[in-house]
Amino acid sequence: MRRSDEFPLDPDVAASLAAVDATLRGDLVDPEHAELAELTVLLAADRPRIDPEFATKLDGQVRRRFATSRHRPSRERGRLWALSGVATAAAAGLATLLVLEGSSSAPVSRTGAEPVPLTAGPAKSATVSSARTPAPSNAAPSNAAPSNAVPPAGSVVPQPPLGGHRIVQTAQLALTTPPAQMEDVAQQVFTVVGADGGSVTSSTVTATGGPDSYAQFELSVPSANLADAMMRLSRLRGASVASRTDTTQDVNGQYLSLSRRVGEAQALRTALLRQLANATTAAQISSLNAQIRDADATISRYQAAVNSLNHQIDYTPISLTIDSGRVPVAGRGFTLGRASHDAGRVLTVAAGVALIALAALVPVALLVVLCWWIFVALRRRRREQALDLA
Amino acid sequence: MIEVSRPGAEDSSWERFEALYISARDDVYAYVASLLRDRASAEDVTALAFERAYRRRRTFDRRRGEERAWLFGIARNAALDELRRRKRLAAFGDADLEAERTEEVADVALARTMVRGAVAALSARERELIALKFYAGLSNAELARVLGVSESNAGTILHRTIDKLRKACNATV
């Protein structure tokens, strides 16, 4: 490539320079350049001579390939390699963490979120906070203690042992289904609830065919059929379980207390009726009638509470939501579909990590290049200044 | 001439370096000594320049110039770094190197003294040009590569310096 400051030499200048080169080579030159040749010879002969002792020493260093030099670039290279290794390991660790984090936050990878065959396997939680806590199937249920430990979708819901105890249960179930199947899945909910003797307290179904399709149900099913209803709801065609929560509350104490108060109020009423039968004055009769009315009201109030509690015990409310989303690959274990899905995720996450790293490194690299350019320019300038000052 | 041991089937970069060292050792020393005018420093810098060249021998890109120009570029940087470090440059004709001159015939000695005086009167950049051309024996293309200018520019500067030198010698006569 031709330099910008390149220009053709003046013929006289070129001839003079050629004469200098010829003289340095030991060739004869034109007589008109005799003076220049003589100057060239004088200059060339005056060059500093290398000291033989130093020449021998330098030859030895070269022969040993500067092995005894104070400079140790190989060690510096080793440090560089070590630093590179640490940086690579850190990047790999970060990538692994991100990949694992990405996998753990993916709903499709949760075992509780997958449509699982009907098996009575170990109970697993569908939420991260209560991950894989076995249900205390043989322990006595505690008051207001959400079990929050649900079996895989489709398996039998753990029933609290009755043994004379009254238990109130609630359940929440979240399903996902492709937007196009929202209506069909919602219809299946009605069918299942009807088959189990339950009812739909309220429902909202928005089937747009798009990702905003959504359905919400408030159901009530006989507690005796709760396990069957939950199993069938978890296995709706075209839907998969995203999360599931069951809550139990022992209301035995509350039930007995209310029953006792009903009994006490009834006993009081009986006693008041007896006193009324023996009453002789109008004032006594009036007072006893008033107390009997109060007792009747009390009995009615407590009986209503008992009836309400009985209804809560006999019927379990189920809160069901259906979101539109991608249905995960069915089945467990290794399949080509799952493998390609996982591989795709790993590649996506890896590409994301690489992109983030690139976004962080590019400005840093540009800054380093700029600093290096400034350093080189300053160094060159100082070197030239050193020559000028000489 | 040195005899360099050949460790088996060593890479060709070592052989190229070896050949370059053999052909340029004295020239590099002469150039560096002319710049520094101090034998001890010249020897240190010469050794350092060859070591740096050896370490970087695999980075040499033939498309960017000849090896000789590349080597003198390294030597120049090392010498200028030494100048920066010392913050001084001994006057041309330093007694340290002057002692090397041998006894000569009177008229030759007179002419040489005259030339030395003229060279000493040159600026540092002009003296460097003289050293690269007449002491190190670089071609104009190599000289241009070392100084970072075009070949025609290097030739013009060189011719101007030689002309200045000639006039200074004639004026002395």
| Report for A111-125, A150-164, B99-113, B142-156: range of highest mean pLDDT | B142-156
Mutation choice for B interface testing from A24, A62, A66, A68 by most B CBs within 10 A:
A62
The torsion defined by the Cα of A26, A28, A32 and A34, in degrees rounded to 10, comes to: 50
Could you tell me if A179 and A328 lie in one domain?
A: yes
Q: Is A3 on the interface with B (CB under 8 A)?
A: yes
Concatenated DSSP letters for A223-254? GGGHHHHHHHHHT-TT-EEEEEEEEEEE-HHH
- Specify the pLDDT at position A354: 93
Could you tell me if A31 and A58 lie in one domain?
A: yes
- Say which residue, A178 or A137, is predicted with more confidence: A178
Could you tell me if A166 and A215 lie in one domain?
A: yes
- Specify the pLDDT at position A114: 37
- Specify the pLDDT at position A156: 44
Could you tell me if A388 and A311 lie in one domain?
A: no
Question: Please, which pLDDT band fits residue A356 given cuts at 50, 70 and 90?
Answer: very high
Give SS3 for A82: helix
Residues B85, B41: Cα–Cα separation, whole Å = 11
A4 within some domain? no
Q: What is the mean pLDDT of residues A252-266?
A: 90
Could you tell me if A200 and A241 lie in one domain?
A: yes
Residues of B in contact with A5 (CB under 8 A): 149-150, 152-153
Residues A13, A11: Cα–Cα separation, whole Å = 5
Phi, psi (degrees; rounded to nearest 5) at B31: -65, -50
A216 within some domain? yes
pLDDT tens for each residue of A166-187? 889 999 999 988 888 888 889 9
A94 within some domain? no
Nearest alpha carbon to residue B39 among B100, B122, B109:
B100
A279 within some domain? no
- Specify the pLDDT at position A127: 34
A38 within some domain? yes
Q: Is A221 on the interface with B (CB under 8 A)?
A: no
Beta strands in chain A (DSSP E): 145-146, 167-177, 199-206, 214-222, 240-250, 315-324
Could you tell me if A315 and A347 lie in one domain?
A: no
CATH class of residue range B12-172: mainly alpha
pLDDT score of A141 more than 90: no
- Specify the pLDDT at position B5: 44
A1 within some domain? no
Q: Where are the domains of chain B?
A: 12-172
Number of domains, chain A: 3
Residues of A in contact with B112 (CB under 8 A): 42, 45-46
Considering only the beta carbons, identify the residue of A17, A39, A50 that sits closest to B165.
A39
Question: Please, which pLDDT band fits residue A44 given cuts at 50, 70 and 90?
Answer: confident
Q: What is the mean pLDDT of residues A185-211?
A: 88
Could you tell me if A148 and A226 lie in one domain?
A: yes
Considering only the beta carbons, identify the residue of A13, A44, A389 that sits closest to B156.
A13
Could you tell me if A159 and A237 lie in one domain?
A: yes
Q: What is the mean pLDDT of residues A125-135?
A: 35
pLDDT tens for each residue of B10-67? 567 788 888 889 989 999 999 999 888 888 889 999 999 999 999 888 777 666 668 8
Q: What is the mean pLDDT of residues B129-146?
A: 90
The boundaries of the domain holding residue A361 are: 342-390
Q: Is A284 on the interface with B (CB under 8 A)?
A: no
Could you tell me if A34 and A147 lie in one domain?
A: no
Contact call for residues A175 and A240 (beta carbons, < 8 A): yes
pLDDT score of B154 more than 70: yes
pLDDT tens for each residue of A63-74? 888 776 555 555
Could you tell me if A170 and A56 lie in one domain?
A: no
Q: Is A66 on the interface with B (CB under 8 A)?
A: yes
Q: Is A32 on the interface with B (CB under 8 A)?
A: no
Q: Where do we find the tokens 């798009």? A: A210
pLDDT tens for each residue of A328-349? 555 556 788 888 988 999 999 9
Could you tell me if A41 and A116 lie in one domain?
A: no
Q: What's the gap in Å between the CA of B98 and the closest CA on chain A?
A: 9
- Specify the pLDDT at position A315: 92
Q: Please judge whether B55 and A71 are an interchain contact, meaning their C-beta atoms are less than 8 angstroms apart.
A: yes
pLDDT score of B168 more than 60: yes
Residues of A in contact with B137 (CB under 8 A): 24, 44
Could you tell me if A41 and A120 lie in one domain?
A: no
Nearest alpha carbon to residue A331 among A134, A135, A152:
A152
The ipTM estimated for the assembled molecules is 0.77
Considering only the beta carbons, identify the residue of A5, A44, A65 that sits closest to B149.
A5
